[in-house]
Structure 1
Amino acid sequence: MQALLHAIAQMASLSSEALRLFHGRGGLHPGCEQWSLDLFPPVFVLTSFAPASEAELAAVHAALAERVAALAPGQALNWVYQCRHEGQLETRLMAGAVPEPHEVSEQGARYRVHVLKGQNHGLFLDMAEGRRWVREHVAGLAQPERLRVLNLFAYSCAFSVVALQAGAGQVVNVDMSAGALATGRQNHALNGLKSGASFLAHDIFNSWGKIGRSGPYGLIILDPPSYQKGSFVASKDYARLMRRLPELLLPGGHALLCLNTPKLGVAFLQDQMAELAPELSLVQRLANPPAFADVDEDRSLKVLLYRRGD
């Protein structure tokens, strides 16, 4: 785990924004594939995808304590360990405390996170460039207030927050988890967004009628889980989303397709889109944040931007 400890030792400052500090899963640090380290200020979150020994955790604690003391003398060290190894799921507060409520910043927006509860913390850090693109795209429109956005698998509605901040007129957030959407409502309130967003706690595949009534849309965001037993399996269900895009999307509108699994590459999305939604053409693949660099880009997060012809 020397690469992880070295990354901690090389931290130049304690960021005021949420970000990834070490990405072992990208394969660029042989022997450290199990580790990732995030900062949700003021809390570090170490995640291991394999069992970790107490000696390894002690080494991380010592490294974090030394670096925090050097960068911010007198500041408390707060860190959480999470193990995601199959059959050994665990989340443990290792030092300090976690604020309640815990709110973090990214690119001028505030979000509610929960690093001690569940495997997902309320904000997917690898999607930062996707959120940046949405913000810049909406802000660059001649009449952003006329833009209707459909945010499918909205989770905690971070895409909705940035779209509305940039001037979008309406965002329809759809997710089958009422709890996630409740956090989404909190995120809108946290950013002073009092109107423009709707929140539908529905199974998307059973709600196309309701979803279509607010359309057609100028921007559709699809950020589904790669595998969620009983609700979505990307390998078979993504096609069901693609088929709906031409009828939901305005001519000249954009669709942002996201897929985060190493088991399916870019061709999985491109080939199916060419077959199922030929009215849309690929514009670009968005770059991932540098902190999420991967030895094989086909394994990393895929964010593809499509545009429907005029």
Structure 2
Amino acid sequence: MLLLPHLPKQLPAEECGRLFHGRGHCFPGLEGITLDWLPPSLLLTQFRPLEDEQRQQLQQQVEQWWQQVADLPLSLVWQNRSVSPAQTEAYGVEPPAPHWAQESGLWFELNLLRGQNHGLFLDMLNGRKWVKQQAQGKKVLNLFSYTCGFSVYACAGGAKEVVNLDMSKPALAQGKRNHSRNGFDKGVRYLGHDLFKTFGKLKRLGPFDLVVVDPPSFQQGSFIATKDYPRLLRRLAEMLAVDGEALLCLNAPELSRAHLQSQVAEFAPELELVEQLSNPDTFPEADPDKGLKVLRYRLAQ
């Protein structure tokens, strides 16, 4: 398993980013491996079973690369997601606690040793940047907000008001800390509710100039894309202001862009497709339909 030739020749800037994306099937034999830089730590994620010898080879290659590009002690977190629950181990120096890292000059709290998700989905960078560019003076609704990354970017872009909704109150609490660290304490609301029981409240809080929909693709008790996206789409238009826009996201390899577009056409015909946002260059995909899909829609006149 030759990972070393695919790693960058120098350590990237002091900002979060993906260093290697094997899951896009562009690197034969390494389809189950990703490596992220979350300063000051590396996160290697394993999505397929590995023999002990393969794991040792990968670890040695990461250590060799680190010696070439960095003058710091190695802090490597290895997350094995080929088992359930995922297993996480730290090699060398453990990540700091609390662990704050930057993306686009904004600070986010991370936790690499707890659970599968560390606090920031790196493949959504372009979506967050787009929200920042569009947010000036707007009311923004951030659905399935997790730790509120979209909201932080919206505030950085001058949003007038942001409403974050997520069923996980710990995630929202982390999101609130993200806002506070960046100095965005005003004009932000956090709702720890089930979306499908909250449409009435959201309609009263609206209408919104921009709605971000970034749900889990399959999370029992929260959202199952094939079943619940239509339920959401039926109510989406009533939450949007005149000329309002929605950013619809889908991260399910088995569901294509055409699938999401057909659902919008059937259940939210008031919306018209504007564009598909590209994913970061560090997330190459042999079949783009299997990667993250981020579609921009506008409420038709």
Name the TM tier (shorter chain): over 0.9
Q: Distance in 1 between matches of 2:84 and 2:272?
A: 42
State the distance in 1 between where 2:128 and 2:98 align. Answer: 23
AA aligned opposite 2:203: G
Determine which of 199, 209, 226 is the counterpart of 1:208.
199
Counterpart Cα distance in 2 of 1:207 and 1:90 = 35
- AA paired with 1:27? H
Contact 2:4 2:65 in 1 (8 A): no
- Do the aligned partners of 1:51 and 1:88 also contact (CA within 8 Å) in 2? no
Answer whether contact 1:14 1:71 (CA < 8 A) is retained: no
- Displacement, 1:88? 6.3
Tell me how far apart the structure 1 counterparts of residues 62 and 30 of structure 2 sit (CA, whole Å).
17
SS in 2 for 1:243: helix
Match 1:96 to one of 93, 98, 104: 93
| TM-score, normalised via structure 1 length | 0.94
Match of 1:39 among 37, 40, 49: 37
Moved more, 92-101 or 49-58: 49-58
Correspondence list, 1:55-66, <5 A: 55-66=53-64
**2:290 maps to which residue?**
299
SS in 2 for 1:91: strand
Q: Is the contact made by 1:281 and 1:306 (CA closer than 8 Å) also made in structure 2?
A: yes
The reply on whether 1:126 has 2:123 as its aligned counterpart is yes
Q: Is the 8 A contact 1:47 1:83 kept in 2?
A: yes
Q: How many pairs were matched up?
A: 301
1:18-167 to structure 2, matched below 5 A, reads: 18-73=16-71, 75-87=72-84, 89-138=86-135, 144-145=136-137, 147-167=138-158
Indicate the residue corresponding to 2:190 in structure 1: 199
Measure, in 2, the Cα distance between the counterparts of 1:119 and 1:293: 22
- Secondary structure, aligned partner of 1:187: helix
**What amino acid is the match of 2:207?**
P
CA distance in 2, matches of 1:213, 1:11: 52
User: 1: distance between equivalents of 2:142 and 2:64?
Assistant: 42
Q: Which residue of 2 aligns with 1:227?
A: 218
What's the offset of the Cα at 1:260? 0.2
Is residue 153–residue 222 contact of structure 1 (8 Å, CA) maintained in 2? yes
TM-score computed with the length of structure 2 as normaliser: 0.97
Counterpart-to-counterpart distance in 2, 1:253 and 1:197: 19
Which residue of the partner structure matches residue 281 of structure 1?
272
Counterpart for residue 141 of structure 1: none
Q: Which amino acid aligns with 1:168?
A: A
Q: Could you tell me how far apart the structure 2 residues matched to 1:109 and 1:271 are? A: 36
- Write out per-residue CA displacement over residues 86-135 of structure 1, whole angstroms, 9 at most, x where no aligned residue: 44621111221110011111112110011100101100000000001111
**Aligned-partner SS, 2:101:** strand
Native 8 Å contact 1:256 1:306 kept in 2? yes
Superposed CA deviations along residues 182-236 of structure 1, whole A, max 9, x for unmatched, are 0000000110111011000000001111111110000000000000012210011
Please say if residues 64 and 77 of structure 1, whose CA atoms lie closer than 8 Å, have aligned partners that are also in contact. Answer: no
Aligned Cα RMSD in Å?
Answer: 1.3
In 2, Cα distance between the equivalents of 1:58 and 1:11? Answer: 22
Report the Cα distance in structure 2 between the residues aligned to 1:71 and 1:293, rounded to whole angstroms. Answer: 23
Deviation >4 Å, runs of 4+: none
Can you give the 5+ residue segments of structure 2 that lack an aligned partner in the other structure? none
Structure 1 SS opposite 2:140:
strand
CA distance in 2, matches of 1:72, 1:230: 44
1:110/1:187 contact within 8 Å kept: yes
For 1:168, the equivalent position in structure 2 comes to 159
